[in-house]
Chains A and B, each alone.
Chain A
Amino acid sequence: MIERIVGARLGYEDSETLERFLATGGDLGLRKAVLEMRPEEVAAEVTTANLLGRGGAGFEAGRKWSMLRKAPRRYLVINGDESEPATFKDHLLVERDPHQLVEGATIAAYAIGASLVVIYLRGEFALGLERVQQAINEAYARNALGRSIFGSSFSVDIVLQPGAGAYICGEETSLIESLEGKRGFPRIKPPYFPAVIGLYGEPTIVNNVETVSNLPWIVQKGGAAFKALGQGRSTGTRLFALSGQVKRPGPYEVEMTKITFRDLIYGDDYGQGLLPDRSLIAFIPGGVSAPWFFEEHLDIPLGQDEVAQAGSMLGSGSVIVMDDTSCPVRSAWRIARFFARESCGQCTPCREGGAWIDKIMRRIEEGEGREADLDLLLDLCDNISPGIKWPPAQTTICVLGPSIPPSVSAAINHFRDDFLVHIKEGRCPHA
């Protein structure tokens, strides 16, 4: 049986309504937390669960919380600025189960003693913004938010903040800058964590939507029950966002490490394989910043360390499938162009290097390339991220720049012949 935690309600047509939420265990986690547990007990359960952040970096949520500097004012910010290409799992959670998000955020606020919670949602999620605000309104109306929640001594408010279209604001320090009314420029590190200096200079925890959506379940069933799912550092379940050239793209919640990429892409319960007469040429295991995987990686289980050991990352849990009708040159160019466009412009390697790579890739894609371009591209990649290894060496304030080389170098190294056809014959071998 497939264990569902964050996606338990998604099978219902009316999953976003308060009625469905309350009929399916809604509020029980929050009630238990504020009425029966001390904040440090809630935090301890999360540490026991070994819940890794679901935003992309996969940092232990309990450890992040434990770094919070003591101060009278502390903030909790929920990162719902999901914009990495092919990542759409938070979009689903926000629109289809906004009450779970609000409950999870309130539990996290209780555990860390936050004075105010801000839910920062990607601005384009117009329907999600409506639904989350409604869930907040309804939570206040039944005293699941506001003063003395459920009669306990805990009080907290939630404010909803719309983003305005900037991928970089998913990086936690640039999200905080944006929330302070500024351009979303990532902050210079150290300090490495907003838990020390965050929003308005106060200690701040930034947690992803999916991360806090796990909390109601963890509080109810216990951290040990969560840890019993999966294995090693990969505990619990994750929502994998499967897209690209599979028969049935979609979000699939699976117990971590229990299925492989082959199962996810070809399994009857998941992607159901490629279209007839097509074959796999590559797939990306964790969002477009991750190094590409190939046929030989299909039997790797969906687990944090398993994917890392094979040289890539699980990242945001977005799996993108390319078949033999897709042009790897074009795919890599489209990924590079994304990062070039979304660079905030602070660091030269990212700003200039990204734009340069974008232009060269476009030139090759359009049949105007030169053979020397391939070495030039690899050299540029090496300048942005010396050694072109994973995890990347960084020459920039944040990891946006170093996210460019993996796709470009994977495409050049594995599909050199495709590049050469583009360059020498001015055509795409897949067209």
Chain B
Amino acid sequence: MARFSDEMLSRAQELVSLYPDPRSATIPLCHLAQEQDGYVTNEAMEHIGELVGSSAAEVQGTASFYDMLKLEPVGRYVVGVCTNIACMLRGAYEVLEDAEEVLGVPVGGTTEDGLFTLEEVECIAHCDRAPAAQVNYRYFGPLDRESLQDLVATLRNGDLDHEVPPHGTLIRVRREAPPVVPMEEIDRERAEEGQ
């Protein structure tokens, strides 16, 4: 429930510096905030507004449009069972029912221990392994009741933590490349070339 920590802040500032307009960093920063706190908190939206030069309300207006950005707490593992057509044709609704039973929560619910949140998601582009699911945006499939039970048990033990990092998408994405050249400098270079 906080602003960015020192470590996250330096990543956030680096992201802001990559764009000709800092507001382009809004979504990446929301991802970062979610990785820090589990969801995008009000404080984080204010902080992001300060960093990209917009208001907290504008950040919220953007964040609330996107399914991946959570404005409420979720479990450590967000399990998304795909039920769109390719998965549906191969038994996704049975998998979703099994998931409710195995986890003991309805779709949208979070287990009492805070470990799992269950979601029904739209196509996750894993159709050749249908019926498929994602856990913190790592893909699994094809699933049946047995493999689903195994998956949940392995997650519960923490045995998959090397493969399934905490709920987030940027957490392991590390830019080691030099910062991009600011647009003004490129404009100048081009003007000189033109002469």
Is B104 positioned at the interface, with any CB of A under 8 Å from its CB? Answer: no
Interface size of B by Cβ–Cβ distance < 8 Å?
62
- The verdict on A334 contacting B85 (CB below 8 Å), with A133-B174, A243-B127 known, is yes
Whether A162 contacts B88 in the complex (CB less than 8 A), given A116-B20, A137-B177, A181-B25, comes out as: no
A335 cross-chain contacts in B, Cβ below 8 A: 85
Contact between A181 and B20, CB atoms less than 8 A apart: no
State which of A59-67, A164-172, A378-386 sits at the interface with chain B: A164-172
The residue of chain B having its C-beta at the shortest distance from the C-beta of A345 within the complex is B65
Tell me what chain B mostly uses at the interface: helix, strand, loop, or mixed: loop
In the complex, residue of chain A having the shortest beta-carbon distance to the beta carbon of B92: A334
Q: Which of A3-11, A44-52, A244-252, A299-307 contacts B (4 or more CB under 8 A)?
A: A244-252
A200 cross-chain contacts in B, Cβ below 8 A: 20-21
Q: A84-B123, A161-B27 are in contact. Are A145 and B177 (CB under 8 A)?
A: yes
Interface of A, helix, strand, loop or mixed by DSSP: mixed
Does A164 contact B122, Cβ atoms closer than 8 Å?
A: no
Say yes or no: B89 contacts A124, CB within 8 Å: no
Question: How far, in angstroms, from A249 to B87 measured CA to CA in the complex?
Answer: 11
Contact B66 A85 (CB under 8 A): no
How near does chain B come to A318, taking the closest CB pair, in angstroms?
A: 8
A322 at interface by CB-CB < 8 Å: yes
A197 → chain B closest CB, angstroms? 15
Assess A136 versus B177: contact at CB under 8 Å? Given A162-B27, A178-B27, A181-B25.
Answer: yes
Asked if A331 is at the interface (CB within 8 A of a chain B CB), the reply is yes
User: B175 touching A334 by the CB < 8 A rule?
Assistant: no
A153-B194 Cα distance, complex, nearest whole Å = 13
> Residue B62 at the A interface, CB < 8 A?
yes
Contact at A322–B89, with CB atoms within 8 Å?
yes
Among the stretches A86-94, A230-238, A256-264, A397-405, the one at the interface with B is A86-94
Contact residues of A between 120 and 150, Cβ < 8 Å to B: 122-127, 129-130, 133, 136-137, 139-141, 145-147
Looking at the complex, which of B1-9, B105-113, B151-159, B165-173 is the stretch in contact with chain A? B165-173
- In the complex, which residues of chain A have a beta carbon less than 8 angstroms from the beta carbon of B126? 88, 91
Interface bracket on A: 35 or more
CA gap between A190 and B90 in the complex, in Å = 42
Contact of B31 among A88, A164, A242, A320 (CB under 8 A): A164
What's the nearest-Cβ distance from chain A to residue B104, in Å?
25
B187 touches A146 (CB 8 A): no
Taking a contact as CB atoms under 8 Å apart, the answer to whether B122 and A241 are in contact is: no
Tell me whether B89 and A245 are in contact (CB under 8 A): yes
What A residues does B56 contact at CB under 8 A? none
B89 near A244: Cβ-Cβ < 8 Å: yes
| Interface check B102, CB cutoff 8 A | no
| Known contacts A91-B125, A146-B178, A342-B122, A115 near B130 by CB under 8 Å | no
Neighbouring B residues of A179 by C-beta, 8 Å: 24
* A125, A159, A164, A320: the one within 8 Å of B85 (CB): A320
Taking a contact as CB atoms under 8 Å apart, the answer to whether B84 and A334 are in contact is yes
From B68, B124, B187, give the contact of A164 (CB < 8 A).
B68
| A159 to B, closest residue via Cβ | B18
CA distance A342 to B121 in the complex (A): 12
Interface presence of B134 (CB below 8 A): yes
Q: Does A350 contact B (CB under 8 A)?
A: no
Q: Nearest-CB distance from B121 to chain A (Å)?
A: 8
Closest A residue to B132 by beta carbon equals A88
What's the Cα separation between A133 and B27 when bound, in Å? Answer: 17
A356 partner residues in chain B, CB cutoff 8 A? none
Name which residue of chain A comes closest to B67, CB basis: A165
Chain A residues with CB under 8 Å of B19's CB are 159
Contact of A133 with B175 in the complex, beta carbons under 8 Å: yes
Q: Which residues of B contact A394 (CB under 8 A)?
A: none
Interface residue? A184 (CB, 8 A): yes
Q: Most chain-A CB neighbours within 10 Å: which of B54, B61, B173, B183?
A: B173
B176 on the A face (CB < 8 A): yes
**A157-B180, A320-B86, A331-B89 as given contacts; A137 in contact with B62, CB under 8 Å:** no
Interface flags for B72-102 (1: CB within 8 Å of A; 0: not) read: 0000000000011110111000000000000
A-B contact pairs, 10 of them (CB 8 A): A72-B187, A86-B127, A116-B20, A123-B169, A124-B134, A126-B169, A137-B177, A159-B18, A162-B173, A249-B130
Known contacts A137-B177, A164-B68, then 7 further A-B pairs from the complex at CB < 8 Å, ordered by chain A residue: A123-B31, A137-B175, A159-B180, A160-B175, A165-B68, A331-B88, A334-B83
